[in-house]
Structures are given as structure tokens and as C-alpha cells.
Amino acid sequence: MTPTLAPSSRVQLTDDGKLRHFLTTEHLPRSLLEDILDTAASFVDVGGRAIKKVPLLRGKTVVNLFFESSTRTRSTFELAAQRLSADVLNLDIAKSATSKGETLLDTLRNLEAMAADMFVVRHQDSGAPFFIANEVTPNVAVINAGDGRHAHPTQAMLDMYTIRHYKGGFAGLKVAIVGDILHSRVARSQVHALNILGAEEVRLIGPRTLLPVDAEALGATVFTDMAQGLKDVDVVIMLRLQKERMDSALLPSEGEFFRLYGLNNDKLHFAKDDAIVMHPGPINRGVEIASEVADGPRSVILNQVTFGIAVRMAVMSMAISGQDSDSNALAASTQSMEGAGGARGQR
């Protein structure tokens, strides 16, 4: 019997459980997340070669559609696509026709007419990549590069890769995510991924005003005190204050936030001696993290960026492979319908 899939999984997976689009880590099977990590592991050494290329996406066209600013995600997606030998188009949204009133859907239809195979989408509105995934033709894959406060699944997976690399796995691990959880798509995707991959405990630490009301329902333990929340954790993930998403004063001041929640060496002492410190970036020194920690021996922040290329190569190659298998299945079923005098033009 086919298992019942959550709506997000129905969009993301092919009938035989392969990745078709990558929109959220929520509800994905553990085996698929492990597949992404294992596939990424096979790509890590490509970055150290004299010729940093493999031919997996040769002949494919990847379009980066970033409606919101980005440094790390956009550049590592571009490098990942290039290292897979794809042709890459970076659409400059500020200069594109969407700024002249063209609808998102019309822009997409035009890019499809140029035979795009994949859209990598960052959007300020939660749900935009889901909308696009539901609208694209069946042979186009959509990867969510961060939507509103909803999800940032490739960031979460590169964070999972980093944790597995330094800690060997997830069993028995206590992971603390600290800061502005309320506005963080990264935190949501991390909590889902950590629970799916079997972490022992996920803790969310921050002031009440920056914690979502459904924090416990997400599968996390909530703390408002750093000493208690960081006690004996293996991994500390710091998040920046997302001021662009704050529509009211949620904090007395940045100085007060740093005093209570900013990670410095004194507060890091509450965590285990071998705890690693992570941050998705961009970091705000002196606001959520002190330079002594960001540049210190426990920080793996720049290693996260490096692993991000391999993880994005993994996600892109798996989604293209899922699309190809889905398109082949669709073509086979269309052919058999046509043979039986059935419908045409399924694409």
C-alpha cells in the first residue's frame, strides 16, 4: 500500500520517492535526508581538484531567481551548478520585467520557453517556491533558496552536513539554536531536519518576544536563559536579528540583546568543551556573536559555507535525476495512452 504523504511531500517527491523539488525539510523521510548528506560527501573533494567540474548536469539550464538579497546562498548555488557543468542564468530581478509590472507567472513562462530545467528561488514571501513548483511544467525542478520566514532547506542540510562531519552523527546530540527564532526560516528547517535525523534534543533559546508560540509543537524545548539553554549542548547555532522582518519593537536594544543572548567565550563555557559554533550568516559581530567566538577555535562558520557547495550540488543533481525519471514515466504513460487512442499533450 502507498504510504499517505503530507501535502509538502506530495509536491516534493516523485511517485517512487525520489526528490523532484526541494522546498522544505518538513515531513521528508530520514532516508532521503541521509541520501542528500551521502551524495554531498561524494562531491566535497570536487572543490579541491585542479578542474572543479563533474558532468552530471551537462546540457541542463539552471536559473537563479533571487527576489531578495543574498551573498552565500546565491553564490554557492551558482558555483554548485557550474561545478555540475550546468549552464547558469542569474536573473537580475531589479532589471527584469517583473519590475515593469510583469507577473511572476508570466516571467516563469518566458523562462520555461527558454528551456530552463531548474529554478532556484529566493523570495520574501513564505510559500512562493511552493506556488512556483505547482505552476511549472513537469520537467522543471524548483529549489527553495529561502522563502519569507518559512523554510531554507538547503541551508538546513548544509548545517546537518557540518554537524555530521564534526560530530559523526546525530544520535545523543543536543543542539541549541539561539536568537531571533521567530523570524527565522533557517531555524524552522533545522528543527525539522534535526528531529528527522534523530538528534536527542533541539533547544530554542531567545527572549519570549523572538520565540514562536508554536516552538514546542515544532519539536523543540524552549529556553529564555542562556546558562540553562546552553548547558551541556554539543552544537550552538547562532542566528542574527532579522530586523527586515520585524514590524514592531521586539527588543529593548541591540546592546541589551548582546548582554543577554550574544555568544561570547563566557557564555560558551556553559556548552560542552568540544561544542562547535555555527551561524548561517550573515553574522552581526557584537550583536548576536562576539568576534572572539566567531573567529575562535570552536567556530565552523566558514566550513559551513564550503560544505554548502557540495550539499547544493547534491540537491540539484538529485532533483534533476528525479525530474528525468518522472518525465520518462510521464512520457511512457502518455505513449501508452496515445497507443490506446488516449490524451495528447500532457506536458
The binding site for ligand CP (CB under 6 A) comprises 70-74, 146, 155, 280-282
d(CA 21, CA 2): 20
d(CA 17, CA 268): 41
Name the nearest CA neighbour of 254 among 245, 244, 263, 241. 241
- The least CB distance from residue 280 to ligand CP, in Å, is 4
Q: Which is nearer to ligand CP, 13 or 156 (CB)?
A: 156
Please say whether the beta carbons of 133 and 122 come within 8 A: no
- The least CB distance from residue 58 to ligand CP, in Å, is 26
- The least CB distance from residue 79 to ligand CP, in Å, is 13
Q: Which is nearer to ligand CP, 189 or 321 (CB)?
A: 189
Q: Which is nearer to ligand CP, 76 or 195 (CB)?
A: 76
d(CA 177, CA 180): 9
Q: Which is nearer to ligand CP, 302 or 343 (CB)?
A: 302
- The least CB distance from residue 83 to ligand CP, in Å, is 18
Q: What is the distance of C-alpha 150 from the center of its chain?
A: 10
- The least CB distance from residue 62 to ligand CP, in Å, is 16
Name the nearest CA neighbour of 311 among 201, 155, 117. 155
DSSP string of 58-117? TT-EEEEEESS--SHHHHHHHHHHHHTT-EEEEE-GGGSGGGGT--HHHHHHHHHHTT--
Task: Please list the residues that pair with 141 across neighbouring strands.
Answer: 118
d(CA 186, CA 192): 10
Residues 6+ apart with CB under 8 A from 209: 182, 250, 251
- The least CB distance from residue 24 to ligand CP, in Å, is 15
Please say whether the beta carbons of 22 and 154 come within 8 A: yes
Please say whether the beta carbons of 216 and 189 come within 8 A: no
- The least CB distance from residue 115 to ligand CP, in Å, is 27
What values do phi and psi take at 94, rounded to 5? -60, -30
Name the nearest CA neighbour of 178 among 219, 207, 155. 207
Q: Which is nearer to ligand CP, 8 or 64 (CB)?
A: 64
Q: Which is nearer to ligand CP, 129 or 146 (CB)?
A: 146
**Cβ-proximal residue to ligand CP, closest one:** 73
Q: Which is nearer to ligand CP, 127 or 281 (CB)?
A: 281
- The least CB distance from residue 16 to ligand CP, in Å, is 31
Q: Which is nearer to ligand CP, 13 or 235 (CB)?
A: 235
Say which amino acid occupies 91. Answer: L
d(CA 287, CA 83): 35
- The least CB distance from residue 201 to ligand CP, in Å, is 24
Q: Which is nearer to ligand CP, 39 or 189 (CB)?
A: 189
